[in-house]
Structure 1
Amino acid sequence: MRPLGSIFLTRVTIALPVLFLPFFLGGARPWFWSMFAALFMIGTAVLLWMEPESPSLMREIPVKWQGAGVFILAFPVLQLIPLPPSALAVLAPHRLLWLQRAAEAAGSPQGGWAAISYLPVMTMFSLFWWVFLVLFGILLRNALREGSPEWFFRLLFFVAASEALYGILQVLVPSLGVLWEAAGTGDARGTFVNRNHFAAFLGMIWPVLLGYTLSPEEPPSRLSRQKTYDARERNAQIRQKQLFFSFLVGMVLFALVFSESRGGILSALIALTAFTIIGRIRRPGMLAFVVVCWGVMIAYGSIVGFGNIIARFDVLEGGALGRFKIWADSCRLIRDHFLTGTGLDTFAHAIRLYQSHLLDDQEIVHAHSDYLELAGELGVPVAAGLTVLAWGYWVLAARRAWKLDAGENLPDRRRSSGPSGTLSLSDIPGGSGSAIHRSPIPAGLRAGGIHCESGGDSRRRLIAAGALAGCLAFLCHSVVEFNWQIPANQLYFVVLIVLMSL
């Protein structure tokens, strides 16, 4: 049993970045995200000091998580190591070429050692943030598995509802801007400067909140057998809570639509379809709603013309043309830095050497495609590995969620004789006499009022389906936007990965 002080500190350490990063421009300013990453590291160090024998951070870390963490963090470290010119000529010849040209222009001697990264300081700070994301994911996973997750979902509801309400107010009051940074434009952006990033943020959260809302807090079969006054009151409270949470989810979806982000709305449709399929939602109303939404989308494209839609797709925020041209310039950068990239978080600086269609006083900051930007910063082999890792994990988690009802990943379910999964040793080869207890449901999902396997499986499936749908929306939207470059979106993407694995 963990001390209450340790549990409280764990929740505070997790809650601080989850709560505050979205509310301050999505955490997109280095001074802000670095502050919360540092606070998290301090909280983690205190937790390790309070629990030296069984620290919550290090408890039950699967080998696959350890391997993924090493793979994610190892290459940026290698980009920081100074190399001799002979090694750079093999690994990053264009990096060496630009160094030689810079030395000639400055009239300084050539031939010094240099790192692969074009800006080692930027890469080092971004690596620090990635370390934070990995540690945050591990700590959140262990915290949700060992205790009730209700506190965390209520925190997600508060953040999402606050952002959605602020976004709707921006539509109703067009002059309402984004804190101190941007003037009002009449569309919903919440506390994010860019409406596409706001749409991506809400697109990740709403399916998880919907899954939590639809999941029964207690198995219906148990509730139906209870006819007492207390049971009826409990049923009424559950229905009222679901109605309130449903209202909040609807408000989040309204704000997403009012953002007028084409990629965000399309990604939300993809998420809705994925949630319906993976969550095995068989209600005719939900299925009809999905069909109608896709029908409206296809009809709109037919009326307006898909050629015009593609032309509008090339128009960036503020009416600037050039998404396809930015991709062309990014591909040239990737070609010249195919193996090792330019260094983590250096794209905005390295692309200046390749931009071909903007005036001298304008510059490309992002590739408007997270996949291209990662390939430019980390090189094609590592970026492809990260992409395969993300999509492969999504497929495996989707298969696992799909099998929850069938019980293929929960052995001997039909021999379970009680709410907690009591098995007789006589049912096990070589066993006899006494009984053992096994529970395929994580303690965190069992603690919130889930008392039997059927209810636990339903809640796990719906929450996992919501996380999978939100993750799919983010991965699809990132094809045409740089959502991964926003710290709040990165953090919540890690949250989705954790919820997919519960």
Structure 2
Amino acid sequence: MNREVLDKWCGRGILGLVVAILVFGPLATGAVRVPDFLVLQALTIGVLSLWALRLWVKPRAQLLWPPISWAVLAFTAYAVVRYFTSELEYPARTEVIQVFMYAFLFLAIVNNLHKQEHTQVIVLTLVFLAMAISFYALYQFVTDSDRVWTFIKPYKHRASGTYISPNNLAGFLEMILPLALASLLVSRAKPVLKIFVAYASLVILGGIAVTLSRGSWIAVGVVLLALFGMLLFHRNYRLPTTVMLVVLIGAGIYFVPKAQFLKARVQETTKNDRLNDSARFDLWEPAFRLWQENIWWGIGPNHYNYRFRAYRPQSVQLQPDRVHNDYLNALTDWGIVGLALVLSACALLCAGVLKTWRFVRGNSADLGGGNSNKFALVLGTSLGVLAILIHSLVDFNMHIPANAIVAITLMALLSTTLRFATEKYWFTSNVITRVAMTVFLLAGLTALIWQESRAAQEYRWLQIARRHPANSLEQAEALEKAFTVEPNNFETAYTLGEVYRTQSWEGAEGYEDLARQAMGWFDQSMKINRHDGYGFLRYGMCLDWLGKTEEAGSYFDKAVKLDPNGYFTAANVGWHYVQTRDYAAARVWFERSKRLEWDQNVIADAYLPIVNQKLLDAAAKPQAQPPRPSP
């Protein structure tokens, strides 16, 4: 087989793997689960392997290196530095591996999938995938289904398609809708294909509507205004744009008055005469306070969720996972330096669009200008990126792997269009360049393969642990093997402590030794993550169980310091005071816990009546009368 044929097959292989990544991620609930993400990671390893091979197979390999590539490299290097300086290694590594994967995918797409036939395959795949998922979302909404495949979604009366969260589905669809509309109105596609794309566009728009995602509605509204605003003033596209606009307006006039769910969602926004932010603002304030701990470098990659409890507002009792604002999340985790690198990449992307625009838009005065696939690509990808950037102000779509990969794919395709404006970003590789790129790709492959192996092994043992009876010795054995694979996973250490603590409290033989084993694992968890108050809480409870109530007090004090507004922490502090028979103090903590969480508060609900009865009994006892003074 000659080199040109082998190079062609390598290119097709890269295209096939990228398409597989783009399709699998959204279908696999956004690839937020570990096994699903490992599939994407394995496919990315395949992409990088073929690219490395292609560097040496292609007779005169060329590199396309637009300015944004330097920003991508800079942020990747910064991510590596922050990983080695992070306090919590395990969550930082999972985040940095994602950064690695996205960066290498971006560069691979720019350098291997810039031809028109490649971009057409990617765009049409995304459009019809979005249409299929939108059909599923419409089915969910019409039938009020609570299922996503075999999973149960927590959002009632809202469609989420193949995602768990409706907001994440909306984030995916809002990126694809501009691609579909640009392909319909601007491209040179055949009429039959355009009919299917028009149908897909309407279905996607319906899918966005039934997510009831207000952030997405705003983003789509801005994008549609920009799209129609630009095309209506371009003579070549005025007629089809007007027809499409009339269709959309007509559909809106017909459906919106009948759609009570849309009215209810809009009214919910200003319910009780205040902006209903779905607790987003309550998550932003702790993020600002955490950022102030290290304004330049941030608290660490993927640290927000694990540092949140110290600044938790009373109104938020669940773990937030993310800030629900990707920009603020970047500022908190990565600091000013990290956010500046992200914004510089966006600025370079925008500058590239402005530079390319006049070369692809054509002259509206030119009656023979006709449609343009180049303009369709630039218009669709730029507006798709704009939509997700707007939505990111109120959500965390860039932390959903499937959506992040779609976004970087659009950015990569958009970056390749700079070649329409200038040839200066092309570089013909020599031996030195090939060696440097090969070393770079091998470094990425090594990191991804190493993490793939470790994550797969850990996941296997964690799954085995879940299949065993809860809090059994068999479960503990599997968890210990998972901890051996990932000794910096503090959550596994904490879970092991819970297994042994539960066995001890159930009165198993040798309960004291089991309690000490539990304390050993809680101590391990505290050493790995000193910000988690639950480890201190459980350690103190074990001391109480062993009769060492005086020693336990300092651990409960530490837990309160790390989670001052947590109902669970307050309830367990109340439990501690029950063990010390200080029922008055116990009641104070149980009542505080109930104020923080009045509905589902098992500990406070169980102990508060007991404590109140103890206090009543103590008050009802006859008090000893003081001796009467002698006459």
TM-score (norm 2): 0.57
Distance of 1:477 and 1:215 partners within structure 2: 25
Pairing 1:315-330 to 2, within 5 Å after superposition: 315=278, 322-330=279-287
Alignment CA distance shift 1:338-1:294 (3 Å): farther
Aligned partner (choices 98, 106, 131) of residue 100 of structure 2: 131
Distance of 1:244 and 1:294 partners within structure 2: 21
- Please tell me whether the aligned partners of residues 169 and 176 of structure 1 are also in contact (alpha carbons under 8 angstroms): no
Q: Which residue is 2:182 aligned to?
A: 211
Aligned partner (choices 117, 123, 148) of residue 148 of structure 1: 117
Q: Which amino acid aligns with 2:375?
A: R
Q: Which residue is 1:385 aligned to?
A: 341
Q: Which residue is 2:302 aligned to?
A: 345
Pairing 1:370-409 to 2, within 5 Å after superposition: 370-394=326-350, 396-398=352-354, 400-406=356-362
Distance of 2:198 and 2:286 partners within structure 1: 45
- Please tell me whether the aligned partners of residues 371 and 479 of structure 1 are also in contact (alpha carbons under 8 angstroms): yes
Distance of 2:245 and 2:144 partners within structure 1: 35
Aligned length: 395
Query: 3-state SS of the aligned residue for 1:39?
Result: helix
- Please tell me whether the aligned partners of residues 178 and 223 of structure 2 are also in contact (alpha carbons under 8 angstroms): yes
Alignment CA distance shift 1:381-1:155 (3 Å): same
Q: Which residue is 1:20 aligned to?
A: 24
Tell which structure's C-alpha radius of gyration is larger. Answer: 2
- Please tell me whether the aligned partners of residues 269 and 277 of structure 2 are also in contact (alpha carbons under 8 angstroms): no
Alignment CA distance shift 1:171-1:132 (3 Å): same
Alignment CA distance shift 1:286-1:212 (3 Å): closer
Q: Confirm whether residue 200 of structure 1 aligns to residue 171 of structure 2.
A: yes
Alignment CA distance shift 1:367-1:479 (3 Å): same
Aligned partner (choices 68, 72, 86) of residue 69 of structure 1: 72
- Please tell me whether the aligned partners of residues 278 and 398 of structure 1 are also in contact (alpha carbons under 8 angstroms): no
Aligned partner (choices 153, 158, 164) of residue 187 of structure 1: 158
Pairing 1:159-178 to 2, within 5 Å after superposition: 159-178=129-148
- Please tell me whether the aligned partners of residues 118 and 350 of structure 1 are also in contact (alpha carbons under 8 angstroms): no
Distance of 1:73 and 1:336 partners within structure 2: 23
Q: Which amino acid aligns with 1:123?
A: A
How far did residue 36 of structure 1 move?
Answer: 1.5
Distance of 1:398 and 1:313 partners within structure 2: 37
Identity %: 20
RMSD of aligned alpha carbons: 3.3
How far did residue 338 of structure 1 move?
Answer: 0.6
Distance of 2:33 and 2:40 partners within structure 1: 11
Alignment CA distance shift 1:305-1:151 (3 Å): closer
Q: Which residue is 1:481 aligned to?
A: 395
Q: Which amino acid aligns with 1:241?
A: L
Q: Confirm whether residue 11 of structure 1 aligns to residue 15 of structure 2.
A: yes
Structure with the larger helix share: 2
How far did residue 493 of structure 1 move?
Answer: 0.5
Alignment CA distance shift 1:48-1:388 (3 Å): closer
Query: 3-state SS of the aligned residue for 1:80?
Result: helix
Aligned partner (choices 307, 313, 338) of residue 276 of structure 2: 313
Alignment CA distance shift 1:291-1:50 (3 Å): closer
Query: 3-state SS of the aligned residue for 1:60?
Result: strand
Q: Which amino acid aligns with 2:166?
A: R
Distance of 2:410 and 2:57 partners within structure 1: 29
Q: Which residue is 1:118 aligned to?
A: 87
How far did residue 143 of structure 1 move?
Answer: 3.4
Alignment CA distance shift 1:287-1:190 (3 Å): closer
Distance of 1:129 and 1:260 partners within structure 2: 29
Residues 444-482 of structure 1 deviation map (CA, whole Å, 9 limit, x = unaligned): xxxxxxxxx955x72211221111111111111110111
Distance of 2:14 and 2:385 partners within structure 1: 25
Alignment CA distance shift 1:147-1:291 (3 Å): closer
How far did residue 287 of structure 1 move?
Answer: 5.7
How far did residue 32 of structure 1 move?
Answer: 1.8
Alignment CA distance shift 1:63-1:159 (3 Å): closer
How far did residue 13 of structure 1 move?
Answer: 1.9
Q: Confirm whether residue 80 of structure 1 aligns to residue 83 of structure 2.
A: yes
- Please tell me whether the aligned partners of residues 134 and 161 of structure 2 are also in contact (alpha carbons under 8 angstroms): yes
Distance of 1:479 and 1:207 partners within structure 2: 19
Query: 3-state SS of the aligned residue for 1:52?
Result: helix
Distance of 1:394 and 1:309 partners within structure 2: 40
Aligned partner (choices 232, 243, 264) of residue 216 of structure 2: 264
Residues 25-45 of structure 1 deviation map (CA, whole Å, 9 limit, x = unaligned): 111123321332133213421
Pairing 1:350-499 to 2, within 5 Å after superposition: 350-358=307-315, 362-394=318-350, 396-398=352-354, 400-406=356-362, 454=369, 458-499=372-413
Distance of 2:276 and 2:344 partners within structure 1: 26
Q: Which runs of 5+ in 2 are unaligned?
A: 258-262, 418-631
- Please tell me whether the aligned partners of residues 215 and 394 of structure 2 are also in contact (alpha carbons under 8 angstroms): yes
Alignment CA distance shift 1:473-1:326 (3 Å): same
Residues 216-264 of structure 1 deviation map (CA, whole Å, 9 limit, x = unaligned): 437xxxxxxxxxxxxxxxxxxx222211111011101101111111111
Between 1 and 2, higher relative CO (CA 8 Å, sep ≥ 6) is seen in: 1
- Please tell me whether the aligned partners of residues 13 and 44 of structure 1 are also in contact (alpha carbons under 8 angstroms): no
Residues 105-148 of structure 1 deviation map (CA, whole Å, 9 limit, x = unaligned): xxxxxxxxxx3x23222222322222221221222233332451
Q: Which amino acid aligns with 1:329?
A: P
Q: Which runs of 5+ in 1 are unaligned?
A: 82-114, 219-237, 316-321, 408-413, 415-452
How far did residue 352 of structure 1 move?
Answer: 2.3
Alignment CA distance shift 1:342-1:161 (3 Å): same
- Please tell me whether the aligned partners of residues 325 and 394 of structure 2 are also in contact (alpha carbons under 8 angstroms): yes
- Please tell me whether the aligned partners of residues 355 and 363 of structure 1 are also in contact (alpha carbons under 8 angstroms): no
How far did residue 204 of structure 1 move?
Answer: 0.5
Query: 3-state SS of the aligned residue for 2:67?
Result: helix
Distance of 1:274 and 1:371 partners within structure 2: 23
How far did residue 379 of structure 1 move?
Answer: 0.3
- Please tell me whether the aligned partners of residues 168 and 188 of structure 1 are also in contact (alpha carbons under 8 angstroms): yes
Residues 322-355 of structure 1 deviation map (CA, whole Å, 9 limit, x = unaligned): 2222111111111112111122222211222221
- Please tell me whether the aligned partners of residues 385 and 410 of structure 2 are also in contact (alpha carbons under 8 angstroms): yes
Q: Which residue is 1:226 aligned to?
A: none
- Please tell me whether the aligned partners of residues 334 and 380 of structure 1 are also in contact (alpha carbons under 8 angstroms): no
Distance of 1:180 and 1:272 partners within structure 2: 35
- Please tell me whether the aligned partners of residues 114 and 413 of structure 2 are also in contact (alpha carbons under 8 angstroms): no
Compare 66-75 and 327-336 and name the one that shifted more: 66-75
- Please tell me whether the aligned partners of residues 327 and 393 of structure 2 are also in contact (alpha carbons under 8 angstroms): yes
Distance of 1:470 and 1:212 partners within structure 2: 12
- Please tell me whether the aligned partners of residues 298 and 331 of structure 2 are also in contact (alpha carbons under 8 angstroms): yes
- Please tell me whether the aligned partners of residues 385 and 411 of structure 2 are also in contact (alpha carbons under 8 angstroms): yes
